[in-house]
Structure 1
Amino acid sequence: MDENLLGSDKELEKQLETNIKKGLTTEEVTLKQQKYGKNELPKGKITPWYLIFLKTLVEPILLVLMGAAVISIIAPIISNKGHIEASEFIDAIVIFSIVLIDAILETVQTIKARKSMDALKSLSKPKTVVIRNDMQQEIDASELVPGDIVVLEAGKYVPAELRIIEANDLSIDESILTGESVSVDKTHLALKESTTILAEMKNIAFMSTFTTSGRAIGMVIKTGVETEIGKIAKSINENEEESTPLEKKLNSFTYWISGLSFILAILIFTTLFFSGDQKAWANYLMVAITLAIGVIPECLAAVVSITLSISTKKMVKQHVIIKKLQAVETLGNVNFICTDKTGTLTQNKMTVKKMIMDNKIIASKEYAKEKNDNHMDLFLKALVLCNDSVTEGSERIGDPTELALVDFAETIGYDEQDSRDVWQRIDEMPFDSERKMMTTVNTINKVNTAFTKGAIDQLLQRCSKIMIDNVVRDITEEDKKILLESANELSKDALRVLAFAYHLNYDKLKDKSDLEHDLVFLGAVGMIDPVRETAVNAVRLAHEAGIEVVMITGDHAVTALAIARDLDLAHSEYEVMTSNTLNQLDDKQLLRVIEQIKVFARVNPEHKVRIVDALKQKGNIVSMTGDGVNDAPSLSKADIGVAMGITGTDVAKQASDIILTDDNFETIIKGVNEGRNVYQKIKRAIAFVIGVNLANVLAIFILSVINTVSPLEATNILWMNLIVESIIALSMGMGSNDPTLMKIKPIKGKNSLFKGLGYTLFKIILFTTIASIGAYYFGMMFVTEDYLKEILGDQYNPSLSWHQALRSNEYSVEQKIEIGDFGRTAMFVTITCAPCFYANFIKLSNWKADKKINLIINKPLWIASMIAVLVNLIVIFIPGFNEKILNLASVNSYNSNNWYLILGALGISLIPVIFMLLLDAITFLIYHYKPEPWRRNRILAQELVELDIQNEKRKRRSKKKPS
């Protein structure tokens, strides 16, 4: 701790070259402004829209797609020896269009979510009162310099870091910085001991905190970036933006798929070159490049962006603003949520929960239902009259504890402003930290009545009587013992106890110092910043989803643990760690225990960053939730930062990835559900696209090796990839969410995008490859001798079958392609229609969780599938397009002997979906009804453990219920 806290006023005056009484002169201010600069916070970085757009274009997946587009232009030029038709550019145009759409979507979403103003600057209020040139004057807060003398009043923001040199009943709300919900009483006295905990720096007023009561004079010791909030702002700006887990996985996937396509191209070209006619190398190169491009999922970037975009629109309706598309998926993978207490899990509003009345503890709600007698009347008057807070509409000025008293009195019908107008204050003794009491005198029915509030132990020393059951009698030692025991019981539950008393002897007093003697004890209240009811349910849902919730707060450990118990977060002091303990641990020691701690108390902003960093080092996906300036660095550091939209500061919103517009912790869990479904939909689309592409490439490769000529043309593959595949893959992201995903525990650590897709990919590749090859040979059954003679003319050899003709080097590539028209047509029908049939049955949902089959119908996908099948059948019969562009059998080639070729191919297209459903049914039945012995035992053990946990929770809840 520096000398600014420990030094005397005279030492500070000398050090900062100022005069406490007269302030700085104009000349001194000018010199200091040149030295220290303006009292402004560093501005947040704002990236221009064009840089966002360009940055999007250089993402790996889009670079590979653009490379594929360029190759798709070069390949036909090589194949056709420089001659190229306009139709050859179709694939390149489509790919470039997909790249452009994806980049535009990403840019628009980022700009829509970004704040247009400088969030940090808005926190510093523009005007402040200072003493300069031996006179008070109002100046812009940005003009303050170290050594300035600032005048503070209730309801004003602190304009810079101040060392308090005079104070009168000064309280400051520092929750924005420390997270502590109760206002801090400040003093002008120098601290006796060093401290690094902001909440314990009692003689410092921190920049951007709020003065709730009293008046003070302070000396500016730090300005701008040197203040605590300035340090936080600087750390936010210095944090480099990390890629989200989805971005990392997609980048890794891109490298993998690029390498695979390159290897395939070499393998296919080499195989065809050495097994076929080496003179046709240009054609083989074209086939190799075409198949390599066929592996690359051109539509994937658009699928991901559109799926995420659809989800962000859904989440806006659920009160969630997504600043970056990929943040949706990251939220779905979160397995640790670190959350601030004040305003996030709690209401950030002190509330009366318990009462000590008639020597008993009763709930405040029960007390409010009681009959309004003389005792209640006096007690409620004490609450509102011995009180300086004011509420009017949404305006709330005053200490949070006093506001809580006013709120409680209003629930029973006592308005503080009306009460003060009727029963006017004629005298008072303000609160003093030494007396720990406050007294006011009000005229009630022409009787001057004194009301006193304060710490119960101090107040009982001044009481000679007590009101019990509406009767005033002498207070006994037994009464005091009961009251103190009751207060201790409330304190154990982290309730702040405040007691009230009165007397009618004001007119008989000879000295004002006797005002707080011979009092009649009325009762006491227990207050706390209560948990949000929705937060309790949200924590329960998080635990069910396998997500650990960690509470990080500036409050004391006792208060934090009490709140954690109400939330079912933690139940013993061993799960709580204070900042003192945290400071004593090195990084390795912290890593060993970090996942066992559920509550961190009395923490500073830098502690929050350290906690988040430690959890991330353990392989966790960490979300940080908060609303204050003190949360901003950790919001920025976390994998996913979640800020509160209503109570949250602009700093927190700027540092976050997601903003909750309803400040409801439960909304985060809705976001997790949406994120998990988004990720599942993306994985499903990837499984579909990669599975179909690999199946097509494998089938073409096998048939090319057998026949020395590709069974399909580049345009066939292009049609499949960019028309059919894209339509279906995009519609996969438009379906309803699967609620069972919230029963799955997130997988810890770095996981491949293909984790869990092996079985699905195996089914798609195996059955689609078999069906495609089968369809080709089915089509080639319709190649007759007359058909071969018509194509080969004088070169026709009756002894050669169509298969032998394809392998012969005597015929040109063009002739071989024409021979395969029927096989190509049948195979085209199968590769384009089979995916439309089984796309609706690719399930990656939690089918292991329940014996009941969870049917989720994706209407857009069904409609897209039917449209795709219809379009595929139509193009087969469009004269010119079918034979000139797609190289399929012409309409004129169908006759009475081959009319059922298309119907047969459609029938073969159903084979993959039939076998997939059959295999899934067998797997499902075996898993649920014939489990292996080891898995059956594990299930039973898990059920017993869960039963024990539920019984333990019921016992704890029953103990907490009042008798």
Structure 2
Amino acid sequence: RSMALAYRVIDRDVDINKMPIDEAESHLIFVGLTTMSDPPRPEIYDAVKRCHQAKIRIIMVTGDSKLTAKSVAVQIGLTSGKARVISGNELEKMSDDELRKALKSEVIFARVAPEQKYRIVKNCQANGEVVASTGDGVNDAPALKQADIGIAMGQTGTDVAKEAANMILTDDNFASIVAAIEEGRAVYSNIRKFLTYILTSNVPEAIPSVLFLISAGLIPLPMTVMQILTVDLGTDMLPALGLGAEAADPDIMNQPPRKRSEHLLNKGVMIKAFCWYGLLSSLISSGAYFFVNWQNGWPAKGLAASGSVYMRATTMVLGAIVFTQIANVLNCRTNKTSIFKKGLFSNKNIWYGIVFEICLFFVLTVTPGIRQLFNTTPLFASDWLFLFLLPIPLVLLDEARKWLMYHKQNN
């Protein structure tokens, strides 16, 4: 911005306060121009870049002149310089159809009154956009209220603006909005990871019951009710809570925003939980059950429905589910990024949960009294070796899936 400086010599006996403004500002002697610059904050450049990577569109709506608005937009990387600049007067003459068409391309709004922001927000929503709007004044309240997410300035914002907003920006910094978006995406992603992990164990728990019903009891229940409760209320709980503390995926801000109509428990979560992780767990746990019986003469002798063989078989089913869930909780930590790239041991909370579930399973298999309650029995050394090695191929198999998905997406 440029400011002109000038002066005028006035006699001492003249009362300046009583002089009309027009007269005081006449016959001035021009001194020169001074230029003032209010540069963008240093962090704004990276924040805008991250928004572009996240497919988040930024529309500048300012009260400054066209030249100033476009200059700042180019300077911070908001636009390449080809954006259309629409003034408040031009906006006033545009129909809603014309405005919606303009909003579909690069556009900057300059010399816009706060009341006109409401119209811009409403027409963005008419184009199917999810809109977040910022503001600090009383006149910004309608736009803040209309937006899907109204963001008021915490330091300079009025009480009216804060009341109308959904979120208050305490430091008045645009970069904090981007950080909040990243945190929100991370929380949403972690909830999905939590659901995927919790739902996975339902499949190997349900399939044995299905086999029991289909066979009319010829195949004894590979898991007792107490063993199922052990998984649902015991071994799964702490690792699942550890997923809630998982750091955001490295590429979370490179992903496009989800659709407004997309559900938290969507088709992708169901397929991954039931048809991938759950199916693998079911095959392994059921295989462990039949393998123990095979070692003891099945199918010639038939499947044991009681006794030491049956108890060892059900214990192996429980152990197989517990140890496949160790692999599953590690696999659920990332969607498409390699767990080794993120850091296999970077989330200590999950590893505390893994140690807990192994210890709990060990206690259930060796403690007299508890063994009878949960229908378990001490396992052989070869059984323990199998269980401890079990997560390794499952993690590597899912790493291959993530690698394929990553390269498919990039290509």
Q: Compute the displacement of 1:696 (Å).
A: 2.8
1:685 aligns with 2:194: yes
* 1:826 and 2:307 aligned: no
Question: Which of 860, 873, 888 is equivalent to 2:376?
Answer: 888
User: 1:354–1:839: structure 2 CA closer, same or farther, 3 Å change rule?
Assistant: same
> In structure 2, do the counterparts of structure 1 residues 425 and 730 end up closer, same or farther at CA, with 3 Å as the change threshold?
farther
State the Cα distance separating 1:743 from its structure 2 match: 2.5
CA contact (8 A) 1:838 1:913 kept: no
1:242-391 aligned within 5 A: none
Match of 1:780 in 2: 293
Partner of 1:663: 172
Q: For 1:675, which of 160, 166, 184 is the aligned residue?
A: 184
Equivalent AA in structure 1 for residue 301 of structure 2 = S
- Which residue of structure 1 aligns with residue 146 of structure 2? 637
d(CA) in 2 for partners of 1:817 and 1:746? 56
2:221 partner SS: coil
Asked if 1 retains the 8 angstrom alpha-carbon contact of 2:83 and 2:108, the reply is no
The Cα of 1:835 is off from its aligned counterpart by 0.6
Distance across 2 between alignment mates of 1:918 and 1:846: 13
In structure 2, the CA distance between the partners of 1:427 and 1:583, relative to structure 1 (3 Å rule), is: closer
Q: Which residue of the partner structure matches residue 130 of structure 2? A: 621
The CA deviation string for residues 724-747 of structure 1, in whole angstroms up to 9 with x for no partner, is 222111111213333332223324
Equivalent residue letter for 2:240: A
Classify 1:913/1:760 alpha carbon distance in 2 versus 1 (closer, same or farther; 3 Å).
Answer: farther
Which residue pairs with 2:279 in the alignment? 766
Matched, 1:713 2:224: yes
AA aligned opposite 2:199: I
Alignment check: 8 A CA contact 1:678 1:733 kept: yes
Trace 1:746-825 onto structure 2 (pairs within 5 A). Answer: 746-753=257-264, 754=266, 756-757=268-269, 760-761=272-273, 762-781=275-294, 801-803=301-303, 820-825=310-315
In structure 1, C-alpha distance between the alignment counterparts of 2:406 and 2:74, rounded to whole Å: 38
Q: Counterparts of 2:220 and 2:14 in 1: how far apart (Å)?
A: 105
Residue of structure 2 equivalent to 1:873: 362
Q: Which one of the candidate residues 917, 921, 926 is aligned to 2:400? A: 921
**Secondary structure class of the residue paired with 2:286:** helix
Structure with higher strand content: 1
The question of whether the paired residues in 1 share the 8 Å contact of 2:250 and 2:342 is answered with: no
Is contact 1:882–1:888 with CA below 8 Å preserved after alignment? yes
Cα offset, 1:697, TM superposition: 1.9
Partner Cα separation in structure 2 for residue 431 and residue 745 of structure 1: 62
Do 1:767 and 1:911's aligned partners in 2 also have CA atoms closer than 8 Å? Answer: no
CA-CA distance at 1:721 after TM superposition: 1.2
Counterpart amino acid of 2:400? A
Secondary structure at the residue paired with 2:222?
A: coil
Deviations 1:624-680 (A, max 9, x none): 222222222322332222222111222222222322221111111111221222222
d(CA) in 2 for partners of 1:575, 1:702: 66
Counterpart check, 1:701 vs 2:210:
yes
Instruction: Indicate the SS of the match to 1:888.
Output: coil
The 3 A distance-change label for structure 1 pair 614 and 906 is farther
Identical-residue share of aligned pairs (%): 29
Contact 2:319–2:387, Cα closer than 8 Å, also in 1: no
Q: Residue 541 of structure 1 aligns with which residue?
A: 50
Listed one character per residue, the Cα deviations across residues 889-924 of structure 1 (whole Å, up to 9, x for unaligned) are: 4xxxx5xxxx51x75166246435413413523762
Q: Which residue of 2 aligns with 1:733?
A: 244
Q: C-alpha displacement at 1:926, in angstroms? A: 9.2
Q: Deviations over 1:367-396 (max 9, x none)?
A: xxxxxxxxxxxx8xx89x99xxxxxxxxxx
Q: Does the 8 Å CA contact 1:546/1:745 hold for their aligned counterparts? A: yes
Show the 5 A alignment for 1:890-905. Answer: 899-900=379-380, 903-904=382-383
5+ unaligned residues in a row in structure 1: which ranges? 1-352, 357-378, 387-423, 439-458, 463-515, 786-798, 807-815, 940-963
Which structure has the bigger radius of gyration?
1
Instruction: Determine the C-alpha separation between the residues in 2 that align with 1:568 and 1:741.
Output: 21
- 2:397 partner amino acid: L
Specify whether residues 697 and 576 from structure 1 end up closer, same or farther in structure 2 by C-alpha distance, changes over 3 A only.
Answer: farther
Relative to the length of structure 2, the TM-score reads 0.81
- CA distance in 2: counterparts of 1:709 and 1:590, whole angstroms: 69
For residue 855 of structure 1, the aligned residue among 331, 343, 351 is: 343
- Assess, with a 3 A threshold, how the Cα gap between structure 1 residues 921 and 784 changes in structure 2: closer, same or farther: closer
Contact 2:2 2:35 in 1 (8 A): yes
CA shift at 1:878, angstroms? Answer: 2.4
Residue 30 of structure 1 is matched in structure 2 by: none
AA aligned to 2:62 is T
Aligned counterparts, 1:398-437, within 5 A:
428=16, 434=22
Q: For the structure 1 residues 616 and 769, does the alpha-carbon distance in structure 2 shift closer, same or farther, using more than 3 Å as the test?
A: farther
Give CA deviations for 1:760-819 in whole Å, capped at 9, x if unaligned. 43431222111110121234356689xxxxxxxxxxxxx98332x75xxxxxxxxx6997
SS in 2 for 1:739: coil
Cα separation, 1, equivalents of 2:358 and 2:183 = 30
Q: Which residue of 2 aligns with 1:950?
A: none
SS of 2:104 mapped into structure 1: helix
* Residue of structure 1 in register with 2:334 after alignment: 844
Aligned partner of 1:652: which letter?
A
2:386 to 891, 895, 907: 907
- Closer, same or farther: CA 681–883 of 1 in aligned 2, 3 Å: same
Residue 775 of structure 1: SS of its match in structure 2?
helix
Contact map agreement 2:249 2:334 (CA 8 A) in 1: no
* Distance in 2 between residues matched to 1:432 and 1:708, nearest whole Å: 104
- Alpha-carbon distance change, 678 to 425 in structure 1, aligned in 2, over 3 angstroms: farther
| Alignment equivalent of 2:75, drawn from 566, 588, 596 | 566
Deviation at 1:428, TM superposition (A): 2.8
